[in-house]
Each structure stands twice: as structure tokens, then as C-alpha cells.
Structure 1
Amino acid sequence: MKHWIAVISRAHARIAADFEFLQVCHGKAGPLRQTRAGDEVFIYCPRSEINAGEILKTVEFQCVFNNDDVYQVEQFPGFKPFRKDVTFNRKFQPVVLKEVIGLELTANPHWGMLARRGFFEISEHDAELLRLGMRGLG
């Protein structure tokens, strides 16, 4: 199993959670094709809206890929993003990323450049710390 972070606005992350899918990097298929059934994803929300709204810097959701199927949908005319089905963990609560102590990810002063990719792998160590933080135990 691998662990990932998807960088998505909270507004878009809530839509994904309501409909149990993940769409990353403006609908690109490549990042989703790197994943496998059972892989875990944490959704990091830098802002409440895409390129606007309140600054959050929170990990809002955790989910797991249901299968390996990447599919395309017509979201609106001319825009057909790729998606993958996931199951969201409804027991976890949002956590401010900088409040999760001991993350390898944020120990790197340039981790924001990694976040600009929109979707990237993290270590098992960081995944466990995020899970603990989202349970209120970290």
C-alpha cells in the first residue's frame, strides 16, 4: 500500500467526499494511474475555494481507492476529467498540517514546491502521524 496527498480546495474536496470519487491535478489521468486499490489518500486543502477564499492549510479528508479503474466523465461541455472511486473515512476530523508534529514532509523547508504538483506520495511514517492527528490523538 502507498500513501498519497492530493492538493484540492475544500469546496472541491467536499464534492468529492459527497460522491466518493477522487479527481486530481485538474482532471489528469496520469497521477491516478500511479495508484492501486487500497492505497490511502489524504486531502490537503490550502484554501477554501480554488485560487481564492480563506487560507486553510488543513488536511480535511482521508480516503482509500476502491479499485484500479480510472474513468472519464463529462463534468460540463468540453471538460472531461478523469476520476477514480474512493471510500472516505467519515470518522476522521480535519487537522491543521503544521500542528501535526514530526512529519517528514514538512521538515523539508521546500515542501510547498512538492505540494504544487497537486498529487504526491508520502511515507508510511507521515501517513500514521496524519491518521493520529485526524483522530485527535496526535
Structure 2
Amino acid sequence: MTRYWIGVAAARHVRIAVENSFAMFAHGRHSAALRTRPGDWVAYYSPREGMNEGAEVRAFTAIGRILPGEPHEQLMTAAGDTGWQRNAEWLPARKADIYPLLDRFSFVRDRGHWGMYFRKSLFPVEPVDFALIAEAMGVADAFGRAGTQED
């Protein structure tokens, strides 16, 4: 069964993941990588350009699908830190501002405190919520075609 996820990561980190065809969550925690499965869809939300620094982004910055295979450990920084990641295929999508979507998401029950929903590094969402993100990112057609295929 296909599941739909929102991952939260700095835009700079998302670009690295997209360029290298992988997905990583919760600073590379193995347990987070294990939550996703091949065929699952992921959209990254980026609050800022860097981790707790840089310009505000507050947008969805990537959308794609987890590829077959198990999570694997990978070097993350020059300092020798490693993290767990999954291979992913990212759609060519545009950045989508979160604000126009907030009143449409089924999981945001209090717009005044919408940020609390995005404090987790990875959380599941309903297909209808994910479809809103895909539409806002300009990939609704590609997502719809792929989303109808069961693995």
C-alpha cells in the first residue's frame, strides 16, 4: 500500500538529496528511513535555506517517490558523520509556497499554529493532502499517473 509523507529539511539539504537521488529524514536516523517503503511518495517542506539559519523559504521544495531497495548508510559530511538514506526519484517540480495550502490541508486544524504540524522531521499525510502539494508544485499529472499504479 502506497503511503504519502512530508519530510522537513533545509532547502540546501533538499537540493543535495535531489541532485544525488536519495531521501534522508531526521538527520539520518535509521528508524526514520525505515518508516518509508519503496513506492511511497515524499514531499519535502523547507522552512529555511539552511538548518536553523539562512533565508526563510517556507515552501515545498521537492516531490518524488522512494525507489526499490533497503535503506543504506552514507557519509553525510566531511567530518565523517553518516546517516541512513533511501534511493529516491524526484520529479522536476517548482517550489510551492505553503501559505496558500494551509487552509486546504486536512491535518491543519488550527491555522494560527500551523507550524507545529511541521516540527516533525517526517510525518504521514492523506493522499488528498499530497495531491494538493503535487498540484501546487506543477506535477499533478505526473503524480496522478504514477499514484494510480500499485507496486
Identity between Structure 1 and Structure 2 (%): 22
Task: Give the counterpart letter for 2:18 in structure 1.
Answer: A
* SS of residue paired to 2:19: helix
* TM-score computed with the length of structure 1 as normaliser: 0.90
CA contact 2:9–2:46 (8 Å) conserved in 1: yes
User: What is the SS of the residue equivalent to 1:112?
Assistant: helix
Distance 1:108 1:67, change over 3 A: farther
Alignment partner for residue 124 of structure 2, among 110, 121, 131? Answer: 121
1:105: which partner in 2?
Answer: 107
AA in 1 matched with 2:108: T
Q: Separation in 2 of the partners of 1:50 and 1:85?
A: 22
Report how many aligned residue pairs link the two structures. 136
Could you tell me which of 72, 76, 81 is aligned with 1:79? 81
Asked if the contact 1:98–1:106 (Cα under 8 Å) also holds between the matched residues in 2, the reply is no
Deviation at 1:111, TM superposition (A): 4.1
Partners of 1:69 and 1:33 in 2: CA distance: 8
Aligned equivalents of 2:125 and 2:3: distance in 1? 8
Alpha-carbon spacing, 1:88–1:136, altered in 2? closer, same or farther (3 Å): closer
* Farther off after superposition, 68-77 or 7-16: 68-77
Contact 2:7–2:44, Cα closer than 8 Å, also in 1: yes
Q: Map Cα deviations across residues 58-88 of structure 1 (whole Å, 9 max, x no partner).
A: 0011010002410002233441111110000
CA change 1:119–1:136 in 2 (3 A) is closer
CA distance in 1 between counterparts of 2:121 and 2:110 reads 17
So what's the TM-score if we normalise by structure 2?
A: 0.83
Q: Does 1:32 align with 2:55?
A: no
**Gaps spanning 5+ residues in structure 2: where?**
141-151
SS at match of 2:107: helix
Contact 2:91 2:139 in 1 (8 A): no
Shift of 1:47: 0.3
Please tell me the residue identity of whatever aligns with 2:17.
A
Alignment of 1:1-138 (within 5 A): 1-75=2-76, 76-90=78-92, 92-100=93-101, 102-109=104-111, 110-135=113-138
**Structure 2: how far apart are the matches of 1:70 and 1:41?**
15
* Unpaired segments ≥5 residues, structure 1: none
